[in-house]
Amino acid sequence: MNILSFEFLAFVAGVVVVFYLLPQRFRWVVLLAASLGFYLCGGWQGTVYLVAVAGFTWMAGKRIGRLRARMEAAEQDGSPELARVLKQRVRVWLTHCLILVLGALVCVKYAEPGREMLNHLLKALRVRAQLNPFTVLVPLGLS
């Protein structure tokens, strides 16, 4: 669905109407469903990518939150060694989450230019092999 089309305008208008008709505690569901519906219009690959990255980020955030709660409890109980270990675990989870999410973004964003560069290098080296195009649609707004 092109964001410069009447179809998109009707979609957004419908989402806004439903959003304001529902109680405030359910509005997040409308926005989530509208986002997923919009991405599904562009193909299932972008939706899978988006759900996977969002799911991993959510899981890591929940885990970091639990670790921080345990860390604060350990500090209050007078156990600085346990608090230090838990702080290290928080850093590990945060680092892994950042590497995975930003790494996926870099791979998707720069795979095609990298492929073209490697094909030019292979051609300059007179190697007959060529890499095929990378055809994954990235959800709108990822940059």
pTM of the model: 0.64
Angle at 93 between CA 103 and CA 72, to 5 degrees: 150
Q: What are the tens digits of pLDDT across the range 8-17? A: 899 999 999 9
Burial class of residue 94, CB neighbours in 10 A (0-12, 13-18, 19+): middle
Which candidate, 111, 135, 139, 143, places its Cα nearest to that of 48? Answer: 139
111 SS3 class:
helix
Q: What are the tens digits of pLDDT across the range 83-133? A: 999 999 999 999 999 999 888 888 777 777 887 888 888 888 888 888 777
